[in-house]
Amino acid sequence: MFLEPQFRGQRSGWIEVICGSMFSGKTEELIRRLKRAKIANQRVEIFKPQIDRRYSESMVVSHDANSIHSTSIAHSNELIALSEGVTVVGIDEAQFFDEDLPENCQKLALRGLRVIIAGLDMDFRGKPFGPIPQLLAVAEYITKVHAICPHCGNLAVHSYRLTANEETVMLGEKDLYEPRCRTCFHLGSVLDPQSGKTDGH
């Protein structure tokens, strides 16, 4: 489990990234860290891209409904002004942010803030997703969380899309995606429920 670093002398900021596939508990881990900071009376702000409208406009909502308040923003440049006087900034669904997110997170960290970013590290094709690779490169701390593959029980690192739609950004829940391990991801549609080839397993 991730433990916050201890300070000696003046506090400096840093960047944490929580990444992994869908259903791996990224948002739950983000909320766990933010809630502990709030209990310590640190001022916490949470941001997410406006593209994610699955749930309420003003809440970070994890899949188990363990939620805390957040602000939707259109561009990562808005982080700078909105984080005045804040100690800890949480960013959810970071893969959907613009390419300036890594630079803006570094500005916040230089200002002394703790920046905690949660996001998908790979899209449904298995390719690095949006600004996440750059964030992984500049972060002090990286936590990769995993789902469990429903086909074989191995650790799942992929978000497999259960439809033929080729758009990179497609929001949805269990009807559209499932977590898969490396092997089952590469087996592809053979394992899809509608293929009928998994009957009897």
Instruction: Please give the residue ranges that form the binding site for Zn ion (CB under 5 A).
Output: 149, 151-152, 154, 181, 184
- The C-alpha atoms of residue 67 and residue 62 are separated, in whole angstroms, by 6
Give residue for tokens 């094709």: 125
Alpha-carbon separation of residue 8 from 11, 16, 112, 142 (angstroms): 7, 19, 14, 22
If residue 186 lies in a helix (H) or strand (E), which one and from where to where?
Answer: helix 182-187
By C-beta, is 116 or 184 nearer to Zn ion? 184
Distance, CA of 111 to CA of 11 (rounded, Å): 10
| Residue nearer to Zn ion on the CB measure, 91 or 145 | 145
User: What is the nearest approach in angstroms of Zn ion to the Cβ of residue 87?
Assistant: 41
Tell me how far apart the alpha carbons of residues 194 and 200 are, in angstroms, rounded to a whole number: 14
Catalytic residues: 93
Q: Is the CB of 90 or the CB of 179 nearer to Zn ion?
A: 179
Q: Least distance to Zn ion from the beta carbon of 132, Å?
A: 23
Minimum distance of Zn ion from residue 160's CB (angstroms): 10
